[in-house]
Structure 1
Amino acid sequence: MAETPLQMTIRLYRKLKRRGHKVRTWSDYFEGKHPLLFASPEFSTQTGDLFDGFSDNWCRTIVHATAERLRPLAFRLADGSIDKAAGRAWKRSGCHVEANLALLEALISGRSYALVWKPDGVHTEITFEKSTTAIVEYVPGRRRLRAAGLKVWTDHDLEFATLFTPTMVYRWQRPRRDGGQWTGRTAGLSRGQPSHIPNPLRVVPLVELPNLVRLGASPVSELAPVIPLQNSINALWVHAMTASDERALPARVVLGMDRPVREIIDPDTGEVVGEEDEPLAKFRSDRLLWLERQGASIAEFSAADLRGFLDLITQAVEHVAAQTRTPAIYLNKKLINIPESAVSADESGLVAKAYEKQDHFGAGLQEVMRLEALAAGEPDRAESLSMGSVVWRDPHFRTEVQYADSLVKLKGIGVPDEALWERIPGVTHDEIERWKRMRTDQAAAILGGDLAALYGPKPTEGEQGSAEPVPEVA
């Protein structure tokens, strides 16, 4: 029997909720909320909650090292030209900011989503969703053909869900309390508007942006290989701090002498009724001690050497760098007397990983802009976008001198100015268009004989007449 839209909604909703535990764990580690693991029960009993909330958080550094090298700038059509309409739609929806957050979320949670829709029926809007609020299902045997998509959210005492299929959009709601039944949506809809409507795009408008590592495998967080090492680093630090607190200073001990005692006097009779141990805290604070027994002496225990802990922590951090292809300079910041070639070699693994991520995420972003073109009623542009590519910021981080040297050499072998400008970090295609107009204006001024226009505005007639005459030289 075929699955009904309501049954599909319930099934996808349950699948989405099952995913939530793992996503929350990855998110907590990114935020530095780490449980203290790899410590013995005896250690936990002694320290109690002393180290609750402590973490030496390398997870955030690992994720940001990749995320900061993923910056989509524009979209090319099949003929290699920049799609200006896609650029306007991208900026109109705030994607130049939101997309960076979506890619960061995908690196943390394994995936994020983009939704292309016309909420008012007129203007196309692109929004990005977390992996805990959206899910996409694919046609069996087809890894890229979307069969359905579900988006959920809450508002006060109601929970909402929208199921997207290629032909219909089903809109549901239910009370949050006691897990009520899903019914057709009425909240937020005008009177007489149906809960379920046809899908004008004729395709599922929810697109997954997966952080892939294997063919056919589920998307996974960048933090998956880091978490065990992060736990070991935290455990080593708390052991080092505990040892530092107890044994960081030399300890002295008195040998051959009884423990100091003091008499207990009855306050009523004034007679000595016993004796008790003298608190040693006073001797520590006064730094005074009387050795009255013959043969008494003082010995000393050396302070604990904590370098073993620090060496282990350094080794664990190096393992984090190796397993995530993160440059060592990101983690230890030792840049003294290191040549530029060595820095570039150290970053080569991260740069290669960034290129891989650009391919994976780029396919999803191309599909998003293809849907935007379909929603705008431009099927030819949509087809051209599907055969085009995403323009990304160069994942190499170089100095201005290195970039200038590289661009001059490329210019020397005949690379056009526009292609060189695109290689400058942070330069948008709007700026490139402005530079083209400025170059055209300069050429027109030269051909027109107006060389002064190249150096700024000329003075007006009034300003020329008010100039004081130059005195004649006798």
Structure 2
Amino acid sequence: MNRVVLPDNDLGWLNHLAIRHDRDLPVLRELNDLYEGTAPLHYIHPEILREVGERIQAVSLGWPMLAVDPLEERLEPLGFRYPEADEPDPDTPPEELASATADANLMRVWQDNDLDEEAQLGRLDALVMKRSYLAVGTNEDDPDTPLVTVESPLEMFADIDPRTRRVRAAIRRWAEDQDSLVRLPEEYATLYRPDATIWYDRGPQGWREQGRDEHGVGEVLVTPLTNRSRLADRYGRSELTAPLLSLSHAANKVASDMMVAAEFHALPLRALFNIGEDDLVDDKGQKQSALQVIMGRLLTLEGAGDGSEVKPYEFTASSLSNFHDSLNQLAKHATALVGLPPTAFGVVTDTPASAEAWRAAEARLIKRAERKQVPFSGSYERMNRHVRRLQDGDWDPSARRLETIWQDPATPTRAQAADAVRKLFGDGEPIITKRQAREDLRYTPGQIRRMEAEDRAAAEADPVREIVRLNATGGAPPTERVPVTEPAGVG
């Protein structure tokens, strides 16, 4: 067996990763085209396409998009936290609250890098094209806010060590449009190594180094956001599996056939008997072929040549119900394959009878979203450890215990969620704290901090009323409950 020899210099790694990325790009582009609905259709004979020309366009039902989007819509991170982190002092001024907890710091970096929007795009690319990437870099203008970007697998590739499961090196390549009169390099690249990030451009003589950042972290500052990785395949797999795609191609074929049938059979076809080829002319006297006449939904049948009169006839229009039944059956198989309700593809219209029935129909989709949260959390947490390393200049051991807070992938109504929290935090001895109740209601950390500040302001304005309320609702521990005494002279 041939032993793989890894490059021993930066330029060698650049060329090695570029070759591996080029080998992977055709599959990634095909998956992207399938999601966008621009991939060529299957199961349609080329002769049929040539026959109908541009008159009938092939139909794409977009099932790959409908299979991926509902899953991505249920993956929404709300923040990050340390499990053992203490709550900040209630007296902490609001302007210092952001630096009082690591959670607030990480969310500040997250928002400063526009990851509220960018991370969503990364999760979508990971579901469609097997993976996307999170890249971290130093920020010369603000060292406390490292640069974090989300990269497409069409532009970035990372080599993973099969022993440590960590990234050994990564490359990002992109091209610039040549709109300027000044001739610019057409291709650029960034090479990520454990102790440095290096920038290149490509000229007539090949790759040329343009600069480098010697960060000395000891790890490649690129984290793959991998979908459906396997023990023997750490580079991930797409949600657009072969069974789903075969069903999607079949449905597109049936839908295209339905449009052809609608063109030729669903509308009444008229016929003229005792008409020959020499009689087929348009309004300008130009001779037409039989196919051109058929395209106009007029069938001509030549007579016996005995001068018989022309006889018109109209055929009965065809029904398209057989196509509808085929699409319904394919939709049921496809939605069962991806764990979606039968109505997700817009073909089956039998909606569940109640909210409980609807939730039961979404059970597999909810579980799939919860399973996706586990590996995606690991990628976000590793990215945050890189952020803390650039901020602090050293590794934070407690950062290995970071947790990612996710939006509930289920779809309970607002009233159902509030009722469940009220039962846990209601009358009597509460099971959860007020902060936990607000987290369960999926308020963001910023909203919770603002509500807590308003609670403190209300307590300062009327302390006695606040004590009474806490004692009545169990908001304070029994040892902290203060009995309310009647004023002197009463009773």
User: Shorter-chain TM-score: which interval?
Assistant: 0.7 to 0.9
1:152 partnered with 2:173: yes
Change (3 A) 1:297 1:12: closer
2:323 to 292, 295, 309: 309
What's the counterpart of residue 267 of structure 1? Answer: none
Q: 1:33-52 to 2 correspondence within 5 Å?
A: 33-52=38-57
How far 1:239 moved relative to its partner?
A: 0.6
How far 1:67 moved relative to its partner?
A: 0.8
CA distance in 1, matches of 2:361, 2:85: 33
What's the counterpart of residue 82 of structure 2? Answer: 77
CA distance in 2, matches of 1:5, 1:313: 53
1:341 partnered with 2:356: yes
Change (3 A) 1:303 1:420: same
Task: Work out whether residues 76 and 391 of structure 1, in 8 Å CA contact, stay in contact via their aligned partners in 2.
Answer: yes
| Structure 1 residue matching 2:173: 3-state secondary structure | strand
How far 1:393 moved relative to its partner?
A: 0.6
Change (3 A) 1:80 1:216: farther
CA distance in 1, matches of 2:133, 2:357: 38
How far 1:345 moved relative to its partner?
A: 0.8
CA distance in 2, matches of 1:174, 1:284: 58
How far 1:51 moved relative to its partner?
A: 4.2
Task: Work out whether residues 137 and 147 of structure 2, in 8 Å CA contact, stay in contact via their aligned partners in 1.
Answer: yes
Larger Rg: 1
Task: Work out whether residues 34 and 231 of structure 1, in 8 Å CA contact, stay in contact via their aligned partners in 2.
Answer: no
Gaps of 5+ in 1: 186-194, 264-276, 286-292, 452-474
What's the counterpart of residue 119 of structure 2? Answer: 99
Task: Work out whether residues 138 and 147 of structure 1, in 8 Å CA contact, stay in contact via their aligned partners in 2.
Answer: yes
Q: 1:143-222 to 2 correspondence within 5 Å?
A: 143=165, 145-155=166-176, 156=178, 157-158=184-185, 159-175=187-203, 180-185=205-210, 195-217=211-233, 218-222=235-239
What's the counterpart of residue 368 of structure 1? Answer: 383
CA distance in 1, matches of 2:52, 2:123: 39
CA distance in 2, matches of 1:43, 1:311: 23
**Amino acid across the alignment from 1:233:** A
**Amino acid across the alignment from 1:126:** V
How far 1:262 moved relative to its partner?
A: 11
TM-score by length of 2: 0.76
What's the counterpart of residue 439 of structure 2? Answer: 422
CA distance in 1, matches of 2:260, 2:297: 21
CA distance in 1, matches of 2:382, 2:341: 32
1:318 partnered with 2:332: yes
Q: 1:358-437 to 2 correspondence within 5 Å?
A: 358-377=373-392, 379=394, 382-412=396-426, 414-425=431-442, 427-437=443-453
CA distance in 2, matches of 1:227, 1:371: 38
| Structure 2 residue matching 1:350: 3-state secondary structure | helix
1:231 partnered with 2:256: no
How far 1:14 moved relative to its partner?
A: 1.3
Change (3 A) 1:153 1:236: same
2:14 to 6, 9, 15: 9
How far 1:379 moved relative to its partner?
A: 4.2
How many residue pairs align between the two structures?
413
| Structure 1 residue matching 2:362: 3-state secondary structure | helix
CA distance in 2, matches of 1:100, 1:149: 22
| Structure 1 residue matching 2:422: 3-state secondary structure | helix
TM-score by length of 1: 0.78
**Amino acid across the alignment from 1:243:** A
1:356 to 367, 371, 378: 371
After superposition, give the CA deviation of every residue in 1:323-367 in whole Å (9 maximum; x if it has no partner). 111222322373656111111111111111111111111100000
CA distance in 1, matches of 2:18, 2:278: 73
Change (3 A) 1:375 1:301: same
Task: Work out whether residues 30 and 39 of structure 2, in 8 Å CA contact, stay in contact via their aligned partners in 1.
Answer: no
**Amino acid across the alignment from 1:48:** G
What's the counterpart of residue 266 of structure 1? Answer: none
**Amino acid across the alignment from 1:344:** R
Task: Work out whether residues 274 and 310 of structure 2, in 8 Å CA contact, stay in contact via their aligned partners in 1.
Answer: no
CA distance in 2, matches of 1:56, 1:206: 36
How far 1:445 moved relative to its partner?
A: 2.5
CA distance in 2, matches of 1:335, 1:402: 24
After superposition, give the CA deviation of every residue in 1:285-308 in whole Å (9 maximum; x if it has no partner). 9xxxxxxx9999987643222111
Change (3 A) 1:329 1:403: farther
How far 1:10 moved relative to its partner?
A: 0.1
CA distance in 2, matches of 1:416, 1:246: 68
Gaps of 5+ in 2: 87-101, 179-183, 280-289, 299-306, 468-491
**Amino acid across the alignment from 1:367:** R
Task: Work out whether residues 56 and 259 of structure 2, in 8 Å CA contact, stay in contact via their aligned partners in 1.
Answer: no
After superposition, give the CA deviation of every residue in 1:89-148 in whole Å (9 maximum; x if it has no partner). 1111111221111111111211111111114273411111110221211223222x2211
| Structure 2 residue matching 1:376: 3-state secondary structure | helix
Task: Work out whether residues 352 and 358 of structure 2, in 8 Å CA contact, stay in contact via their aligned partners in 1.
Answer: no
After superposition, give the CA deviation of every residue in 1:55-106 in whole Å (9 maximum; x if it has no partner). 1112222111011111111111141566211111111111122111111111
Task: Work out whether residues 269 and 297 of structure 2, in 8 Å CA contact, stay in contact via their aligned partners in 1.
Answer: no
CA distance in 1, matches of 2:44, 2:198: 50
CA distance in 2, matches of 1:235, 1:148: 43
Q: Answer 1 or 2: higher relative contact order, Cα 8 Å, separation at least 6.
A: 1
| Structure 1 residue matching 2:168: 3-state secondary structure | strand
Task: Work out whether residues 79 and 388 of structure 1, in 8 Å CA contact, stay in contact via their aligned partners in 2.
Answer: no
| Structure 2 residue matching 1:39: 3-state secondary structure | coil
| Structure 1 residue matching 2:134: 3-state secondary structure | strand
Percent sequence identity over aligned pairs:
25
